[in-house]
Structure 1
C-alpha cells in the first residue's frame, strides 16, 4: 500500500519540480512546450527518483515510522528540482 502511495506522491513531486523549474528559472520557452522535452538521461534519472521514492516509502512503512515519510518526500522534491539544473544533454 505504501509503495503505491510513494509512487504516486513521488511522481507528482517530480512533475511539480519540473513545472516550478520551468516557471521560475527557464524563460526560454513555454511551460507546455518544454515540460516533456527531456533528454534520455533526464528521463532515466526521473524514473530512478520515482522508484527510489516508492521503495523508501515501502521500507519506512515496514518500520512503522510514517512521520519520516514527509522528510523522504521533501528530499525527493529537492533532488528532482536539482536535476533540472544539470546540463545532461
Structure 2
C-alpha cells in the first residue's frame, strides 16, 4: 500500500480503516511516498506510529479473527519511497 500520508487529514483515517480490514486482505507492504503536492517530504514516522497503535489492540482484534497481522509483522513491511507517485496500480487479493 502506497501512501502520501500527511498530505490530507483523511490519509491517517484511511490507513486505520485499512488495518481494520487487515484480516480480510493481504498487505504486501506499507510505503510512505512523496506526492505531487509535497514532492520532497515523506512521513514514514506517521505510518510507524499508526502501526504501533494498531499493535496495542491487535490481541483484542485477534479474539474475533486470528488473521489480524501483528504490529511487528506490519513494521517489517514498511518502507520509504522519496519520489512523487502520480499513478498507482492496485492489486488486491482476499485471504483464503
TM-score range, shorter chain: 0.3 to 0.5
TM-score relative to the length of structure 1: 0.32
The answer to which structure has the higher helix fraction is 1
